[in-house]
Structure 1
Amino acid sequence: MDATTLNSQAERFLAELHRSPQTVRAYRADLRHLTDWLRETGHGLEREALEAYFTVHPHWASATRSRKQTTLERFCRWALQHHLLDRDPTLHLEHPRLPPPHPRGLRREDIERIFAVIPPEQTRDALLFRLVFETGLRIGEALGVHVEDLDLTRGDEHLTVLGKGSRKRTVLLDDPRLVSALRRYLRTLGYTHGPLFQATKNGRGGPLRYQSVQERWQGYAGRADMACTLHQLRHSHATELVNGGVSLATIRKRLGHQHIQTTLRYAEVSDSTADAELRRWRRQRH
């Protein structure tokens, strides 16, 4: 396919694209940029030409190249379906490695809105999600907690967690509401050893599955008309700690991160917190 054909067929492709206006504009810009380059160089829409196209633009960030490549891949798939291409020239293009997305926390009041729709009789669900939010546990870690991992000695309540790499850590249970809920929940259990959170399928206990927990949380979030993943509970806890002035070293230990670089991804300080810290620093200098 030459540049002239690409230019004319791109508009057909965009007209059939069921995407937001912003996405369509981005796709149009990407296809026009490629069309102009093909016209200037005399290349057609072929694998070697696309490899050269990305090679001569080394300044593009990984995210930019990834977006442009996605545009071309979707156009070429469309062109194949319409018999405009004999083969897909993007098939063997190497995708750039993108950094993991920055986790986004929610405000406590937004998360409390989700907790508020959990039925009172669902004490297990309410406690499980409250535990993740107030301690920053990974959901897998929370599901792996056993009754015997809890130490509810008054004034020194904590639990022992088996984290990634089979590394054990102690997590302080410093939220009074969480501790009270744990004590009430333990009194309802008919056992003193074994998983703290068990399934109740067919009236029999058993391991609570990760997928089941994810589905239940999404159901509650949907009922509260909130977009929030389970992992965002962990990030929201870390964000609260950062904004409360807790050191990154302490947050790293609490979350069970092996490297401080991982903790830094969670360090999303609010503008007001950052401004207050800078003002304190400025006053100390003078």
Structure 2
Amino acid sequence: MTNQPRLRLESGTEAAWMLSGPSADKYPLVNEYLAYLTDRNYSPRTVRAYGYDLLAFCRWLETHSSGIDSVTTGTVLDFMRHCREASIAGRPANVLSMTGKRLDHYSATTINHRLAALTGLFTFRALREPELRNPIPSGREARRVSAEERNGLLGHLVRPKRRSALRLREPRRLPRPLDRRETADLLASLRTWRDRSIAGLMLLSGLRSGEILTLDVTDIDIGARWIRVFGKGAKERRVPLDVEVAGLIQTYLLTERPESTSTRLFLVAKGPHRGQPLTPAGLRTIFRYHRLKSGVLAGHPHALRHTFGTAMAEAGVDLAVMQALLGHAHVDTTARYIHLTPTHVKAEFDAARTRLHTRT
């Protein structure tokens, strides 16, 4: 294991993920591809995820004494079969999910993500060296959309999606919001103005964790109550700022934010890194502590964003407005929240039932 490549963050950077280790020099294409993703403004989390997917592939090649240049379609198929059949170390093999699936195997989402990483890697190589054959099989692609997509409210805007035959069917999971009690308990455990401001921006403005951490002081207009947010792919949008959250941020800036040369809004409050920008690991530590303290085990940062999206859907906010607020690139992603409106669904059901009884 010591001779296998590893993934590390290059010192002095925030997003330069690269392979390292004794055998990493056999895979320069992977590091060039990760650098390419960074240059294309992919988020550090996305580059890291692609890096670990490609690391798994490189380690599998090591066990088969093979290299990137010798990868064929058969090699890719063998790797995908390995991903479907491999067991995850440390997970019990005799435990099944409610659907009967073994929990010691990789999920369909993980396997599909590895396929996407390989597809991107060899597509990148084809751009640089067109004479080399792309080993990723194209498979049978869907030529038309499903009936549900074609007949939906925005069916006239849907384009056929190109799907690889290697992709596994993924279970459709809807975002899980926090209920009122969970939200109240989690917020009650927060003690600093910084942490309350962060939670408020997620819960009442729908910001992502990465967007929170990249906010500058100048991005907050407390007087006009607007936030300038740079989302995925460096896409800029303006989001309204709740009046209570504006008060929390103003108090944080006046009484709690350390003096620093950094322009970031949220900084480390104490310790040897005081005054430095808050990191993703630091944010995870904050929420992990308050999840345990409050007993709200579902209180992850993204759960607050899901709670915001659900509240907007239940309030009947227009789908296009929700898409603009949440910063989704595709309206299909926003549409998931429409299914999370049990209050609205029950009200419509009761109204229809009343009309039927009235007619009879």
Measured against the shorter chain, the TM-score band is 0.5 to 0.7
Q: Secondary structure at the match of 2:177?
A: coil
Cα distance in structure 2, aligned partners of 1:277 and 1:252: 24
Cα distance in structure 1, aligned partners of 2:281 and 2:171: 26
Match of 1:177 among 222, 233, 244: 244
Q: Secondary structure at the match of 1:178?
A: helix
Instruction: Report how many residues are paired.
Output: 200
CA contact (8 A) 2:262 2:275 kept: no
Counterpart check, 1:259 vs 2:327: no
Q: Secondary structure at the match of 2:239?
A: strand
Residue 116 of structure 1 is matched in structure 2 by 188
TM-aligned CA distance change 1:245 to 1:95, over 3 Å: closer
Residue 218 of structure 1 is matched in structure 2 by 288
Counterpart check, 1:239 vs 2:310: yes
Moved more, 221-230 or 134-143: 221-230
Gaps of 5+ in 2: 1-91, 106-165
Residue 128 of structure 1 is matched in structure 2 by 198
CA contact (8 A) 1:117 1:224 kept: yes
TM-aligned CA distance change 1:274 to 1:129, over 3 Å: same
- Structure 1 runs (4+) deviating above 4 angstroms are 17-20, 68-71, 277-283
CA contact (8 A) 1:160 1:171 kept: yes
CA contact (8 A) 1:130 1:178 kept: yes
Residue 149 of structure 1 is matched in structure 2 by 219
Q: Secondary structure at the match of 2:272?
A: helix
Cα distance in structure 2, aligned partners of 1:151 and 1:280: 43
The CA deviation at 1:19 is 5.9
Residue 104 of structure 1 is matched in structure 2 by 176
The amino acid that maps onto 2:250 is R
The amino acid that maps onto 2:279 is R
TM-aligned CA distance change 1:95 to 1:213, over 3 Å: same
Cα distance in structure 1, aligned partners of 2:260 and 2:104: 53
CA contact (8 A) 1:148 1:193 kept: no
The amino acid that maps onto 2:317 is V
TM-aligned CA distance change 1:273 to 1:262, over 3 Å: same
CA contact (8 A) 1:105 1:233 kept: yes
Residue 268 of structure 2 is matched in structure 1 by 199
RMSD: 3.1
Cα distance in structure 2, aligned partners of 1:226 and 1:96: 33
> Any idea what the Cα deviations from partners look like across 1:151-182, whole Å, max 9, x if unmatched?
112xx301100001111000001x33211111
Cα distance in structure 2, aligned partners of 1:108 and 1:169: 28
Cα distance in structure 2, aligned partners of 1:206 and 1:140: 16
Q: Secondary structure at the match of 1:245?
A: coil
What does 1:1-286 correspond to in 2, within 5 Å?
23=96, 67=101, 96-99=168-171, 101-119=173-191, 122-153=192-223, 156-173=224-241, 175-188=242-255, 189=257, 190=259, 194-200=263-269, 201-202=271-272, 204-228=274-298, 229-277=300-348
- State, as a whole percentage, how many aligned pairs show the same letter: 28
The CA deviation at 1:193 is 6.8
Cα distance in structure 2, aligned partners of 1:192 and 1:152: 21
CA contact (8 A) 1:132 1:234 kept: yes
Cα distance in structure 1, aligned partners of 2:273 and 2:231: 30
The CA deviation at 1:219 is 1.3
Using structure 2 for the length normalisation, give the TM-score: 0.49
**Higher RCO (C-alpha 8 Å, min separation 6):** 1
Q: Secondary structure at the match of 2:238?
A: strand
Moved more, 264-273 or 211-220: 264-273
Using structure 1 for the length normalisation, give the TM-score: 0.61
